[in-house]
Amino acid sequence: MTVTEIKVRRLFDEPRLKGIVSVTFDGMFAVHDIKIVKGTDRLFVAMPSRRDDSGMFRDIVHPMTREFRQELEEDILDAYNKEIDRREAETALS
């Protein structure tokens, strides 16, 4: 499965939530509402989830292997950082 597009939908200036992205795979399957979260030591990616009947949050979709999770997270954080840089450059030019 290949990531063919990552769209940074929203950026936030909140203590933990930093952004929301959508990812398209193989140009045929999209996953929306993937969150970029500031953890204690680093940014990380949180998959879309919902609360189940017992009150626990469960991922709706998620990578099946550690390797794919790392690859996906790197791609998403790279796109996020590029969007931050793009917006900062735009602001500097204004």
Would you say residue 8 has pLDDT above 80? yes
CATH of the domain at 26: 3.30.1120.40
Range of the domain at 14: 3-93
Give the chain's domain count: 1
- 15-36 pLDDT, tens digit per residue, is 999 999 999 999 999 999 999 9
pTM value is 0.90
**Residue 12 carries which side chain, given as an amino acid letter?**
F
Q: What H or E segment, with its residue span, contains residue 91?
A: helix 66-93
Would you say residue 94 has pLDDT above 80? no
CB atoms within 10 A of CB 94: 5
Nearest to 43 by CA among 77, 66, 14: 77
Q: CB of 3 within 8 A of CB of 24?
A: yes
Would you say residue 84 has pLDDT above 80? yes
